[in-house]
Amino acid sequence: MQFPVSIPFVEHLGFELIRFDGGEAEIHVELKPELLNSFLVAHGGLSMTLLDVVMAHAARSVQHESGAVTIEMKTSFFRPGEGRLRAVGKLLHRSATMAFTEGHVYGADGQLCAHATGTFKYVKRLPAAGREIKSLQRRLDGAGSD
C-alpha cells in the first residue's frame, strides 16, 4: 500500500504502510544496520518516529483531506526492538481540529517494545510544488535583507 502523501524522511527509513483505515494504521520497517544503536537494536529515535508516523496516519485515516501535525507525544520503552518492527496506531478521540491517539511498536517476536500517546492537529495540506526553501538563519551583516 502506498502512503497517501510523499514523506521523504519516511521513505528514506524504509517504512511500509500496511493498513490505513477507520481510525487505525499499521506500518512495518525492516531493521537495517544504519537504524541501530550501539547495542545493535532499534535506535530509540527510529521507534519514536515510527510511533509518530503511525499515530498521525491513524488520525488521518478518518479525515483524508487533511494533514496531521504533532502537538505532543509521550513515549515509554519496554524492551529493545529487533528484527522487522510492526507499529499499530489507533485514533482514540477526535474533535474538528484535534486527534488523540495511541501507538504500539512490536518486535519480530511479537513482544511489545514501545508505547506512545500523541495529540495531533488537523491542518489543510499546503501545496509543496514550486515553493522555495528559505533559510531560518538571518544574516548578521544585513546583506540579502529587503
For residue 10, the model assigns a pLDDT of 97
Per-residue pLDDT band for 107 (boundaries 50, 70, 90) equals very high
N-terminal to C-terminal alpha carbon distance within the chain: 46
Cα distance between residue 18 and residue 76, in whole Å: 23
For residue 65, the model assigns a pLDDT of 86
**Angle of CA points 80, 78, 16, to nearest 5°:** 60
pLDDT tens figures, 34-88? 999 999 999 999 999 999 999 999 999 998 888 999 999 999 999 999 999 999 9
Per-residue pLDDT band for 124 (boundaries 50, 70, 90) equals confident
Instruction: Inform me whether the pLDDT recorded for 144 exceeds 80.
Output: no
